[in-house]
Amino acid sequence: MSAPRAISTRLWVGCAVLALSLCACRAPLGSEKKPLDLGRGVFVSGTLRPGQPLWADFRVDEHALYTFSVQPPLPNVALEVLRRRKAGRGFERFGAPIPGVAHRGPAPLQAEAEHRDVLLTPDLYSLRLNARVDRPIEVTIDIHDAPMPRALRVEPRELGLSGESARVRLLGEALREDCAIRIGERRAPLVVLREGREALFELELGDLGGASSAELELHFVTPWGERRLEERLRVREAREPARAIVRGVPFRELPAGIATLGPAREGVALREELDPDVEADEGAPRTWSQPVGTWISEIELTQAAWTALGLENPSAKPGDALPVHGVTYSLALELCRRFGAAATSEDPRWSTYEFDLPTEEEWEYAARALTRTPIAVPIDPGDETPFAARLAQHAWFVESSRLHPEGAGPYAVAGKAPNAFGLFDCHGNVFEWCRPSTALPPPPAGSGVLRGGCYATAYRGCRASNRDFEPLEIRNRRIGLRVVARPRDPSAGSGSLGG
């Protein structure tokens, strides 16, 4: 809360002049009957006498929420705030009580519990305090403001609705659980994060009104009213991610949307079995907004794609369909540069894209495919198959690799089931180099970040949030890469690249 501003006013008990205290400092009263400028907050002090109410006149210059409290707690207290009404050239003291600030009864008025978040509009007001006392008592009325909930924007502003619902992120100030987003006639409650600076709400398929796409008008609803957000949310019904073949490598367009990244906390059995392996460098669960238009290779880059660009194959286990491995970080970046140049010469539309290693956020968003389990295999309450056995359907990792006739990996790409985004081998086969996240602890000096685990990794190490670090110039048969193509201008979207 901002510091209170210096003020002066006149308080009245009958005709007696009282004192005003601001930030525990007494301020002398002026000779004018000037209303108190409430500003950010004040402490009003005075003597409450038997049979005589304590008055304070004040002015509010802008819409704000205020809290009123009295110390010490008093029996049979009555505290009211009254809007002042015009009467001729002056003002009457009495007007309609403001809802939420009219307290009568035998219960004491507690400073920490009474009359919170009262909305006052610009106007002149009178505050009246009365209590049944048998002697003069020094009292203090604490009046301070609270931030007004304010919604700034939603992210992403365009998304593909996967399934029956999708999470949308709302950024704002002082967001509260008693606020909501209204979409048509439906109110979507908020799940508030980051001390009120962010919230999530659910968008439902029914919000499209039966259409395959729509521009939705969103209204931010508070207990005191609502207002329309400036920008509309563009939504299209779920579809299979667009696919394109680039230099013989299949790419998928990542659906725009909101995902929770970081250590998973859902599912008691999974928490008990997997969370002990969570490392501090994985950070806390956090939200990520994936913009429109980013493409990612459907498979780990193969040796055939590598050598087609004129690069010497560093792999210890040769095979055109196997992922290239033994790749240093600098070689991986060089591959991305060459791949982008070759893609542009083949199809000029790719000239507006940057080919690169995925960031850690892009990689985890793609690997999770909107799941929140530690490994991106959806929980099925009716399926009691051990988790490691279920992962074997999607990944070459230490348990499944034992049965492979080739012995040690890596193995041909796309040999296991894809995830919900149509991507193969996000868990296991080979580790994948990533651009380090700026939201997580950095890797050790001279080292880079690897994601996804490999054919020799236990399934706990294949968790979507797991991070491994290796020297940037190491050549290891367990390390490969995946390529992303992100728009240089994120607002441009993906155009018609899919085929």
Q: Are residues 297 and 182 in the same domain?
A: no
What's the number of domains the chain is made of?
Answer: 3
Query: What is the amino acid identity at position 138?
Result: E
Residue 193 belongs to some domain of the structure: yes
Query: 177 lies in which domain range?
Result: 150-237
> CA-to-CA distance for 96 and 85, rounded, in angstroms?
9
The CATH number that applies at residue 389 is 3.90.1580.10
Q: Are residues 118 and 42 in the same domain?
A: yes
Contact 270, 277 (CB under 8 A): no
Strand ranges inside 422-493, DSSP E: 431-434, 447-451, 468-471, 479-480, 484-487
**Tokens standing for residue 36:** 């108190």
Task: Please list, residue by residue across 20-42, b when 16 or more beta carbons sit within 10 angstroms of its beta carbon and e when fewer do.
Answer: bbbeeeebebeeeeebbebbebb
Give just the sign of the alpha carbon dihedral 487, 425, 457, 273.
positive
Residue 1 belongs to some domain of the structure: no
Residue 227 belongs to some domain of the structure: yes
Query: What is the amino acid identity at position 66?
Result: Y
- Specify the pLDDT at position 490: 67
The CB-side HSE value for 97 (13 A sphere, CA atoms) comes to 12
Structural element, H or E, at residue 42: strand 41-48
The CATH number that applies at residue 228 is 2.60.40.10
Residue 484 belongs to some domain of the structure: yes
Beta bridge partners of 342: none
Q: Are residues 266 and 203 in the same domain?
A: no
Domain boundary among 104, 124, 146: 146
Q: Are residues 407 and 265 in the same domain?
A: yes
Name the pTM for this structure.
0.60
The CATH number that applies at residue 31 is 2.60.120.1050
Contact 338, 310 (CB under 8 A): yes
- Specify the pLDDT at position 163: 64
Q: Are residues 204 and 264 in the same domain?
A: no
Q: Are residues 353 and 282 in the same domain?
A: yes
Block mean pLDDT (10 aa), the chain, length 499: 31 29 26 48 76 79 75 73 61 48 44 58 78 82 76 76 75 86 90 83 83 84 83 75 92 87 58 57 88 95 96 96 98 97 95 97 93 71 66 92 91 93 95 97 97 92 93 98 92 57
Residue 3 belongs to some domain of the structure: no
Q: Are residues 90 and 113 in the same domain?
A: yes
Contact 310, 331 (CB under 8 A): no
Residue 2 belongs to some domain of the structure: no
Q: Are residues 276 and 219 in the same domain?
A: no
Q: Are residues 141 and 36 in the same domain?
A: yes
Q: Are residues 314 and 414 in the same domain?
A: yes
Q: Are residues 209 and 128 in the same domain?
A: no
- Specify the pLDDT at position 41: 56
Residue 170 belongs to some domain of the structure: yes
Instruction: Select from 128, 34, 28 the least CA-distant residue to 80.
Output: 128
- Specify the pLDDT at position 9: 33
Domain boundary among 97, 117, 146: 146
Q: Are residues 154 and 270 in the same domain?
A: no
Query: What is the amino acid identity at position 305?
Result: A
Domain boundary among 112, 146, 180: 146
Residue 184 belongs to some domain of the structure: yes
Contact 254, 241 (CB under 8 A): yes
